[in-house]
Amino acid sequence: MSRHVPQRLSEKIAEVEALLADARAGSGAHFEYGREAVPGVRIVRAMVDGHVLALSLWTDPIDIAEICGDGSFSATAALLAIDREHARRLKMAGVFVDLGQFSRSSSHPGVYYALFDFVSPRQVHETLHRLVPALTPDDDRVLIA
C-alpha cells in the first residue's frame, strides 16, 4: 500500500526539482551553499570531475517529517536530498555518489536523504566529501551563493 503524500509537499518537491535541473545546467565552484530558493529549501552545488552535483537542503521540520515519512524527525535540523536519477546520471559519467549512506524516502521513493542534527555550510561540505568520494580535497573554502 502506498503512503499518502500531501499535495503541498508534492508541489514543493516538483518546484525544487526544476530549480535543481537549472542548477545542474551551469558550472560553478568546488562547493556552493545557496541561499533559500523556496521557503525552507536551499540548493547545494559541488563540482565533481567537471560535473555539477546539485542537492536540496531542507530545513522546514514539517517537510522533513513528510519526506522521511515519520514525525519523529522533528528534532532534525536539516535534510540533504538527492534524487536517484541524478545519482544514476553522475554514476554513468564516472562520478560515484554513495547512496548506501543515504536513507530512501518512503513518501517519495526516488529521493534519498541524509539527516543533520546541526547544519552549517561547513557541516554540509564535510558530509558531501564523505558521500561523494570523487569530490577532490580542498582548502575548505565554502562559497555562500
Q: How many beta carbons lie within 10 A of that of residue 47, not counting itself? A: 16
Residue 123 within a domain = yes
Classify 11 in phi/psi space as left (phi over 0), alpha (psi -120 to 50) or beta. alpha
Residue type at 83 in one-letter notation: D
Q: Would you state the pLDDT for residue 10?
A: 86
> Residue 15: pLDDT above 70?
yes
84-136 pLDDT tens trace: 999 999 999 988 888 999 999 888 888 999 999 888 998 898 888 888 887 77
Structurally, the chain folds into a number of domains equal to 1
Q: Would you state the pLDDT for residue 4?
A: 45
Q: Would you state the pLDDT for residue 76?
A: 77
Residue 19 within a domain = yes
Q: Hunting for cell 518512503 — which residue is that?
A: 106
Question: Alpha helices, DSSP H only, in 4-141?
Answer: 7-25, 61-68, 84-92, 121-131
* % pLDDT > 90, the chain: 30
Q: Would you state the pLDDT for residue 82?
A: 94
Q: Would you state the pLDDT for residue 62?
A: 87
Residue 88 within a domain = yes
Residue 1 within a domain = no
What does the buried/exposed string (b/e) look like for 24-34 if buried means 16 or more CB atoms within 10 Å of the residue's CB? beeebebbbbb
Instruction: Please state, in angstroms and rounded to a whole number, the distance separating the CA atoms of residues 140 and 105.
Output: 30
**Which of 142, 81, 140, 134 has its CA nearest to residue 112?**
81
- As a whole number of Å, the CA-based R_g of the chain is 14
Question: Alpha helices, DSSP H only, in 26-97?
Answer: 61-68, 84-92
Q: Would you state the pLDDT for residue 71?
A: 57
Residue 51 within a domain = yes
Least confident of 32-46, 58-72, 83-97: 58-72
Kindly state the average pLDDT of the residues 52-80: 83
> Residue 5: pLDDT above 50?
no
Residue 136 within a domain = yes
Q: Which domain holds residue 22?
A: 7-144
Residue 2 within a domain = no
The more confident residue out of 39 and 50 is 39
Three cell numbers, residue 145: 551563493
pTM of the model: 0.84
Q: Would you state the pLDDT for residue 73?
A: 58
